[in-house]
Amino acid sequence: MAELLVLDGLSAGYGRAVVLSDIAFRLEEGEALAVLGRNGVGKTTLIDSIVGVTRRFSGSLRLGGREMAMLAPEARAALGVGWVPQERNIFRSLSVEENLTAVARAGRWTVSRIFELFPRLKERRGNSGGALSGGEQQMLAIGRAMMCQPKLLLLDEPSLGLAPILVQQVFATIKEINEQGVTILLVEQNALQALTIAHRGYVLQTGKVVLTGSSKELRENEMVRKAYLGES
Protein backbone atom coordinates (compact mmCIF):
# COMPACT_ATOMS: atom_id res chain seq x y z
CA MET A 1 0.00 0.00 0.00
CA ALA A 2 1.09 3.57 -0.67
CA GLU A 3 1.77 6.00 2.15
CA LEU A 4 -1.07 8.47 2.67
CA LEU A 5 0.06 10.49 5.69
CA VAL A 6 3.71 11.07 6.61
CA LEU A 7 4.90 13.06 9.62
CA ASP A 8 8.63 13.76 9.82
CA GLY A 9 10.19 15.46 12.83
CA LEU A 10 7.00 17.29 13.74
CA SER A 11 7.19 19.63 16.72
CA ALA A 12 4.06 21.63 17.44
CA GLY A 13 2.01 23.27 20.13
CA TYR A 14 0.13 26.41 21.10
CA GLY A 15 1.64 29.88 21.42
CA ARG A 16 5.15 29.38 22.75
CA ALA A 17 4.39 25.99 24.31
CA VAL A 18 5.86 22.98 22.53
CA VAL A 19 3.54 20.01 23.14
CA LEU A 20 4.78 17.55 20.49
CA SER A 21 8.48 16.89 19.99
CA ASP A 22 9.99 15.31 16.89
CA ILE A 23 7.00 13.14 16.02
CA ALA A 24 7.49 10.76 13.10
CA PHE A 25 5.12 8.19 11.71
CA ARG A 26 3.58 6.83 8.53
CA LEU A 27 0.01 5.92 7.79
CA GLU A 28 -0.73 3.85 4.71
CA GLU A 29 -3.77 4.13 2.48
CA GLY A 30 -6.64 2.05 3.85
CA GLU A 31 -5.00 1.54 7.22
CA ALA A 32 -6.49 2.18 10.66
CA LEU A 33 -4.00 3.58 13.17
CA ALA A 34 -4.59 4.02 16.90
CA VAL A 35 -2.81 6.65 18.98
CA LEU A 36 -2.77 5.78 22.67
CA GLY A 37 -1.71 7.69 25.76
CA ARG A 38 -2.94 9.19 28.99
CA ASN A 39 -4.62 12.59 29.21
CA GLY A 40 -2.29 15.50 28.55
CA VAL A 41 0.40 13.68 26.57
CA GLY A 42 -0.39 15.40 23.25
CA LYS A 43 -2.89 13.13 21.51
CA THR A 44 -5.37 15.89 20.70
CA THR A 45 -2.51 18.21 19.77
CA LEU A 46 -1.42 15.61 17.23
CA ILE A 47 -4.90 15.61 15.66
CA ASP A 48 -5.02 19.42 15.77
CA SER A 49 -1.61 19.61 14.07
CA ILE A 50 -2.77 17.45 11.19
CA VAL A 51 -5.93 19.55 10.88
CA GLY A 52 -3.82 22.71 10.97
CA VAL A 53 -4.93 24.56 14.09
CA THR A 54 -1.69 24.43 16.10
CA ARG A 55 1.61 26.28 15.79
CA ARG A 56 4.20 24.20 13.94
CA PHE A 57 7.74 24.76 15.19
CA SER A 58 9.46 22.29 12.86
CA GLY A 59 8.92 19.22 10.75
CA SER A 60 6.87 18.08 7.81
CA LEU A 61 3.32 16.84 7.22
CA ARG A 62 2.55 15.25 3.85
CA LEU A 63 -0.74 13.89 2.58
CA GLY A 64 -0.49 11.79 -0.54
CA GLY A 65 2.99 13.17 -1.11
CA ARG A 66 1.90 16.82 -0.87
CA GLU A 67 3.36 19.03 1.86
CA MET A 68 0.59 20.42 4.09
CA ALA A 69 2.62 22.24 6.75
CA MET A 70 1.90 25.72 5.36
CA LEU A 71 -1.71 25.07 4.33
CA ALA A 72 -4.74 26.48 6.13
CA PRO A 73 -7.23 24.04 7.69
CA GLU A 74 -9.77 24.53 4.89
CA ALA A 75 -7.12 23.70 2.28
CA ARG A 76 -6.23 20.53 4.16
CA ALA A 77 -9.91 19.58 4.27
CA ALA A 78 -10.11 20.09 0.52
CA LEU A 79 -7.19 17.69 0.11
CA GLY A 80 -9.12 15.01 2.00
CA VAL A 81 -8.56 15.50 5.73
CA GLY A 82 -11.77 14.81 7.68
CA TRP A 83 -12.06 15.59 11.38
CA VAL A 84 -14.36 14.53 14.20
CA PRO A 85 -13.31 16.54 17.29
CA GLN A 86 -14.04 15.63 20.88
CA GLU A 87 -16.60 18.44 21.07
CA ARG A 88 -18.39 17.09 17.95
CA ASN A 89 -19.23 20.68 16.91
CA ILE A 90 -22.48 19.81 15.18
CA PHE A 91 -24.85 22.62 14.16
CA ARG A 92 -27.29 22.44 17.04
CA SER A 93 -29.99 24.59 15.43
CA LEU A 94 -30.01 22.66 12.15
CA SER A 95 -31.78 19.37 11.54
CA VAL A 96 -29.87 16.11 11.15
CA GLU A 97 -30.28 16.22 7.38
CA GLU A 98 -29.30 19.89 7.22
CA ASN A 99 -26.16 19.14 9.25
CA LEU A 100 -25.18 16.56 6.65
CA THR A 101 -25.95 18.63 3.56
CA ALA A 102 -24.51 21.93 4.87
CA VAL A 103 -20.92 20.73 4.44
CA ALA A 104 -21.40 18.15 1.70
CA ARG A 105 -19.05 17.71 -1.23
CA ALA A 106 -19.95 15.64 -4.25
CA GLY A 107 -18.78 12.04 -3.99
CA ARG A 108 -19.64 8.53 -2.96
CA TRP A 109 -20.64 9.44 0.60
CA THR A 110 -24.21 10.69 0.35
CA VAL A 111 -27.02 11.32 2.82
CA SER A 112 -28.54 7.97 1.91
CA ARG A 113 -25.27 6.21 2.56
CA ILE A 114 -24.86 7.92 5.94
CA PHE A 115 -28.39 6.81 6.86
CA GLU A 116 -27.40 3.25 5.96
CA LEU A 117 -24.46 3.52 8.37
CA PHE A 118 -26.59 5.13 11.08
CA PRO A 119 -30.27 4.10 10.80
CA ARG A 120 -31.00 6.06 13.98
CA LEU A 121 -30.07 9.27 12.18
CA LYS A 122 -32.55 8.45 9.44
CA GLU A 123 -35.26 8.07 12.07
CA ARG A 124 -34.36 11.49 13.43
CA ARG A 125 -33.54 13.25 10.18
CA GLY A 126 -35.90 16.14 10.94
CA ASN A 127 -34.79 16.68 14.53
CA SER A 128 -32.40 19.47 15.43
CA GLY A 129 -28.84 18.60 16.37
CA GLY A 130 -29.38 20.03 19.83
CA ALA A 131 -32.26 17.61 20.47
CA LEU A 132 -30.12 14.52 19.90
CA SER A 133 -28.60 12.32 22.59
CA GLY A 134 -24.83 12.26 23.03
CA GLY A 135 -24.55 9.04 21.05
CA GLU A 136 -26.70 10.39 18.25
CA GLN A 137 -24.60 13.56 18.14
CA GLN A 138 -21.46 11.46 17.78
CA MET A 139 -23.06 9.54 14.92
CA LEU A 140 -24.00 12.84 13.28
CA ALA A 141 -20.48 14.23 13.73
CA ILE A 142 -19.00 11.18 12.02
CA GLY A 143 -21.62 11.27 9.27
CA ARG A 144 -21.02 14.96 8.65
CA ALA A 145 -17.27 14.37 8.35
CA MET A 146 -17.91 11.61 5.81
CA MET A 147 -20.02 13.97 3.69
CA CYS A 148 -16.80 15.89 3.01
CA GLN A 149 -15.48 12.80 1.17
CA PRO A 150 -12.30 12.37 3.27
CA LYS A 151 -9.33 10.25 2.31
CA LEU A 152 -8.19 10.41 5.93
CA LEU A 153 -10.62 10.50 8.86
CA LEU A 154 -9.29 11.82 12.18
CA LEU A 155 -11.30 10.79 15.23
CA ASP A 156 -10.57 12.35 18.62
CA GLU A 157 -11.96 10.26 21.51
CA PRO A 158 -15.12 9.04 19.73
CA SER A 159 -16.19 6.97 22.77
CA LEU A 160 -16.05 9.93 25.18
CA GLY A 161 -19.17 10.12 27.33
CA LEU A 162 -21.00 7.28 25.58
CA ALA A 163 -22.75 4.31 27.17
CA PRO A 164 -21.01 0.95 26.55
CA ILE A 165 -23.60 -0.25 24.03
CA LEU A 166 -23.20 2.96 22.02
CA VAL A 167 -19.41 2.64 22.16
CA GLN A 168 -19.75 -0.78 20.52
CA GLN A 169 -22.00 0.65 17.80
CA VAL A 170 -19.74 3.60 17.06
CA PHE A 171 -16.61 1.48 16.85
CA ALA A 172 -18.35 -1.05 14.61
CA THR A 173 -19.23 1.80 12.25
CA ILE A 174 -15.67 3.18 12.31
CA LYS A 175 -14.44 -0.28 11.35
CA GLU A 176 -16.99 -0.44 8.52
CA ILE A 177 -15.87 2.97 7.22
CA ASN A 178 -12.27 1.76 7.22
CA GLU A 179 -13.24 -1.44 5.42
CA GLN A 180 -14.82 0.74 2.73
CA GLY A 181 -11.42 2.27 1.98
CA VAL A 182 -11.19 5.32 4.24
CA THR A 183 -7.92 5.64 6.14
CA ILE A 184 -8.46 6.13 9.88
CA LEU A 185 -6.38 7.85 12.56
CA LEU A 186 -7.98 7.19 15.92
CA VAL A 187 -7.09 8.90 19.18
CA GLU A 188 -8.79 7.02 21.98
CA GLN A 189 -8.56 6.49 25.75
CA ASN A 190 -10.30 3.14 25.40
CA ALA A 191 -7.17 1.31 24.28
CA LEU A 192 -8.77 -2.11 24.03
CA GLN A 193 -11.50 -0.89 21.70
CA ALA A 194 -9.03 1.09 19.62
CA LEU A 195 -6.63 -1.83 19.21
CA THR A 196 -9.52 -4.11 18.29
CA ILE A 197 -10.23 -2.17 15.08
CA ALA A 198 -6.77 -0.69 14.34
CA HIS A 199 -4.05 -2.39 12.33
CA ARG A 200 -1.21 -0.62 14.15
CA GLY A 201 -0.72 1.77 17.02
CA TYR A 202 1.56 4.40 18.48
CA VAL A 203 1.91 5.21 22.18
CA LEU A 204 2.58 8.83 23.19
CA GLN A 205 4.15 10.01 26.44
CA THR A 206 4.88 13.68 27.15
CA GLY A 207 4.64 14.62 23.49
CA LYS A 208 6.86 11.89 22.11
CA VAL A 209 6.32 8.50 20.49
CA VAL A 210 7.65 5.90 22.92
CA LEU A 211 6.30 2.70 21.40
CA THR A 212 4.88 1.47 18.12
CA GLY A 213 3.78 -1.87 16.75
CA SER A 214 0.94 -3.89 15.35
CA SER A 215 -2.24 -4.00 17.39
CA LYS A 216 -1.44 -7.57 18.38
CA GLU A 217 2.04 -6.58 19.53
CA LEU A 218 0.72 -3.68 21.58
CA ARG A 219 -2.01 -5.78 23.19
CA GLU A 220 0.67 -8.25 24.26
CA ASN A 221 3.14 -5.60 25.44
CA GLU A 222 3.52 -5.60 29.23
CA MET A 223 3.71 -1.81 29.54
CA VAL A 224 0.59 -1.32 27.42
CA ARG A 225 -1.29 -4.01 29.30
CA LYS A 226 -0.52 -2.40 32.65
CA ALA A 227 -0.92 1.24 31.66
CA TYR A 228 -3.79 1.16 29.18
CA LEU A 229 -5.60 -2.19 29.36
CA GLY A 230 -5.99 -2.24 33.13
CA GLU A 231 -4.13 -5.50 33.59
CA SER A 232 -1.59 -6.17 36.32
Decide if pLDDT at 232 tops 70: no
Percent of the chain with pLDDT over 90: 90
Identify the bridge partners of residue 63 per DSSP, sorted by sequence position: 5, 66
- Express each pLDDT in 113-131 by its tens digit: 999 999 999 999 999 999 9
Q: Going from the N-terminus, what domains does the chain have, and what CATH number goes with each?
A: 1-80+152-161+178-232 (3.40.50.300), 89-149 (no CATH)
Gap between the Cα atoms of 122 and 124, Å rounded = 5
| Cβ neighbours of 90 (radius 10 Å) | 21
Gap between the Cα atoms of 203 and 217, Å rounded = 12
Backbone angle region of 184, left / alpha / beta, with phi > 0 → left and psi within -120 to 50 → alpha: beta
What was the pLDDT predicted at 231?
67
Mean pLDDT of 142-155: 97
What was the pLDDT predicted at 229?
81
Alpha helices in 39-181 (DSSP H): 43-51, 73-79, 96-102, 111-117, 119-123, 134-146, 164-179
What was the pLDDT predicted at 3?
94
Mean pLDDT of 154-161: 94
- Express each pLDDT in 32-82 by its tens digit: 999 999 999 999 999 999 999 999 999 999 999 999 999 999 999 999 999
- Express each pLDDT in 24-44 by its tens digit: 999 999 999 999 999 999 999
| Cβ neighbours of 8 (radius 10 Å) | 15
Identify the bridge partners of residue 14 per DSSP, sorted by sequence position: 17
